[in-house]
Amino acid sequence: MKVYETKDIRNIALIGGAKSGKTTMAEAMVFEGKIINRRGSVDDTNTVSDYRPIEIDRQHSVHSSLLYSVYNNKKINIIDVPGFSDFVGDTAAALNVCDTALFMINGQSGVEATTETAWRQTEIDGCPTFFAINQLDHQGANFNETITSLKDYFGDKVTVVQYPVNSGEGFNTVIDLILMKQLKFNEEGGEPEISDIPDSEKDKAEELHLALVENAAEGDEALMEKYFENDTLTLEEMREGVRLGLISRSIFPVMCSSAKHGIGATRIMDFITNSCPAPDDIEERKTTEGKGFKCDPNDTTALFVFKTSIEQHLGEVSFFKVYGGTVAEGVDLINPRTGNKERLSQFFILNGKNREKVDRIVAGDIAVTIKLKDVRTGDSLMDPKAASAGFKPTPLPVDIFTVAMSAVNSSDDEKIGSILNEMHRTDPTIVVEYSRELKQMLVKTQGEFHLNTIKWYLNNVHKIEVETVAPKIPYRETITKTANADYRHKKQSGGSGQFGEVHLRIMPYTEGYKNPTDIPVRGTDVHDMPWGGKLVFNNCIVGGAIDARFLPAILKGLMERMNEGPLTGSYARDIVVFIYDGKMHPVDSNEISFKLAGRHAFSTAFKAAGPKIMEPINDVEISMPEDMMGAVMTDLQGRRGIIMGMDADGKNQIIRAKVPAAEMTRYATSLSAITSGRGTFKSTYDQYQQVPSDVQDQLLKAYEESQKEEE
């Protein structure tokens, strides 16, 4: 395949809501570029982009796909991104390396919840963006209403570049305001028939053309001066103004299409090649040490791996963009994360599952390689002479949906862990961890749909049945008052026996607490517990009632009991212990005796010291349309949430609240239902607080029942 130079490359992320026609548009662009000779369809499950079994089964994109087309002697790299919000990690990765986002909008439904999710990601990445209002051939399509909703949500920078003459059934004609011509497409797309704008459309076209010229001129002072001098701009000046406006995000052009019939695809590709930025037009990308790379073929070699995939017949595939230099087969580069050398032996250009071998890749281009030793998504591969630092990885969204997963057949549990870790390599937004405290394997995702995708792979590819439950809550146990207790451990079984007696007092730990006056403290050890809080261990023994060599054993017994609290088996915290008396036996006393005596005395005192269960409280920030605030607040109150404040954020309202973690289970699903998918939230741990008495009673009862079942 021909190797394209940086100035002749365009990198496009195809984003948008679910069912907006991204995959169909990708198919049309690849077909119009004569890369394939037959256009497939989602309904027929034969598109170049959605080739994986899960995508054929579900008839929608689940993973992003890399494709390319050629138009006007320029190579257009296309990353087709899934539309569902649960796969926002793919959107983030694509926008992180693409130089322009082609944002597909369903002309029948306008701005949808998933549209807003994708838009937020373009704002995070500062990515140049233009819209294509698609499916204008449908009876329910309404171009004007869609434009109104786009401007309403995304501002007046949304600028019409094309508008349809005959939207609805039979749609095939648009007025192009850059070319100032009428474009008429045949039923199967292709190049349009270009003609003068008819008289019936001239006034409307002139008005919209003027708005476009003004917005294009705003991208550059020199263009603005030319506009003031001449009252217009030439075609080339307009294209330059749009290009600069895209880069600065001061203009968001809107075009028209019916991707299913290929209508508008060639004009969109013409717009991409003439008005969208090349890789070296975009702001440089910096390494963690501050060195910038601007897709210069003469710079030192620098690659960024933005995606990892497991492909049939290829194995692990690394998707990368070249930010500096020209990479040839057989080159040795350094991975700054590991410090190890990686040899890049083969390069491929992809069109879905189809691949073409190439021998070199220029700065700005996107390709894949295989058989790397230890390279993950987010890694950089750098020239050995400048390999001290790599690029910052793509910022990933925080997980919002967590379940505990286990195999129906317990013998498959270890295998599941291995499979899930492999899934994490290909999708870093899948987070897997085993909680020793909860004794559960936790799977954290972007939503229930994301989780169902994981289960599909486990069931259909790996033939493993799994079950999921809400994760246990990491409660803590503590005390609220002072209590004394003693315990004698005595065991005789022939020969030497076991004997140890411990008298202790416990009290709550708080900052600035005071020791009791009736017990002299001889030594204090403060232990910060791994799960938070403290244990303060005081030696108050006088007269040798307990030998000093047994005190570590008593402490060990207390630690074991704090590791599995007396109330619910949760970790205990924030307790001050005074060991003030006890008894020994000259023969039978040993460490195990005092460990057990200390443990039992602690449990007895704990239950008499006003024990309380503490629960984690999260700081939650919810964003939603203003008209949905009431329903969201009512739901939060039902979750024992406390509203801390409210703010406006554009068209949305922000609610800040403190909510118990126990009440946040499946909140992502609930919020989506309450807000019709338009609500988003962030949740972070804040602190532990005591649970209400009725909740504590429920937890104690549930723990007692579970203990009976285990017996």
Alpha-carbon distance of 286 to 91, in angstroms, equals 21
Question: Mean per-residue pLDDT for 173-198?
Answer: 94
Residue type, 14: L
User: For the chain, what is the radius of gyration of the CA atoms?
Assistant: 32
Check whether 179 has a pLDDT greater than 70: yes
| pLDDT tens digits, 604-628 | 999 999 999 999 999 999 999 999 9
Domain contains 684: yes
What is the overall mean pLDDT for the chain?
A: 93
Confidence grade of residue 413 (pLDDT, cut at 50, 70, 90):
confident
Domain contains 1: no
Alpha-carbon distance of 451 to 627, in angstroms, equals 30
Alpha-carbon distance of 305 to 180, in angstroms, equals 42
Domain that holds residue 552: 477-610
325 close to 299: Cβ distance less than 8 angstroms: yes
Check whether 710 has a pLDDT greater than 70: no
Question: Mean per-residue pLDDT for 654-665?
Answer: 95
Q: How many CB atoms lie within 10 A of CB 202?
A: 14
Task: Kindly state whether residues 635 and 493 are assigned to the same domain.
Answer: no
Question: Mean per-residue pLDDT for 211-240?
Answer: 84
pLDDT of residue 494: 66
Task: Kindly state whether residues 489 and 590 are assigned to the same domain.
Answer: yes
Check whether 150 has a pLDDT greater than 90: yes
C-alpha pair distances (Å), 22 with each of 30, 105, 309, 466 = 12, 9, 20, 33
pLDDT of residue 424: 94
Picking from 352, 444, 313, 264, the residue whose alpha carbon sits closest to that of residue 61 is 352
Task: Kindly state whether residues 590 and 483 are assigned to the same domain.
Answer: yes
Residue 198: phi, psi to the nearest 5? -65, 155
Confidence grade of residue 396 (pLDDT, cut at 50, 70, 90):
confident
- Please tell me the chain's helix, strand, coil percentages from 3-state DSSP, rounded to the nearest 5: 30, 35, 35
Check whether 322 has a pLDDT greater than 80: yes
Among 435, 451, 469, the domain boundary falls at: 469
- Secondary structure letter of residue 492 according to DSSP: -
Tokens 């949305």 sit on residue: 652
Task: Kindly state whether residues 211 and 170 are assigned to the same domain.
Answer: yes
Check whether 222 has a pLDDT greater than 80: yes
Check whether 711 has a pLDDT greater than 70: no
Strand-strand pairing, 315-324 and 366-370: antiparallel
Domain contains 664: yes
When divided into structural domains, the chain yields a total of: 5
Among 355, 386, 417, the domain boundary falls at: 386
Task: Kindly state whether residues 17 and 155 are assigned to the same domain.
Answer: yes
CATH at 356: 2.40.30.10
CA 189 to chain centre: 37
Task: Kindly state whether residues 606 and 625 are assigned to the same domain.
Answer: no
Confidence grade of residue 117 (pLDDT, cut at 50, 70, 90):
confident
Confidence grade of residue 651 (pLDDT, cut at 50, 70, 90):
confident
Task: Kindly state whether residues 335 and 356 are assigned to the same domain.
Answer: yes
Q: Which helix (H) or strand (E) holds 4?
A: none
Domain contains 709: no
| pLDDT tens digits, 327-343 | 999 999 999 999 999 99
Domain contains 247: yes
Task: Kindly state whether residues 100 and 205 are assigned to the same domain.
Answer: yes
Of 51-55, 245-249, 472-476, the poorest mean pLDDT is in: 51-55
Task: Kindly state whether residues 439 and 349 are assigned to the same domain.
Answer: no
Among 279, 308, 338, the domain boundary falls at: 279
Confidence grade of residue 404 (pLDDT, cut at 50, 70, 90):
very high
Task: Kindly state whether residues 92 and 231 are assigned to the same domain.
Answer: yes
pLDDT of residue 312: 74
Alpha-carbon distance of 9 to 266, in angstroms, equals 17
Tokens 């717009």 sit on residue: 271
Question: SS in 3 state form for 327-372?
Answer: EECCEEEEECCCCEEEEECCEEEEECCEEEEECEEECCCEEEEECC
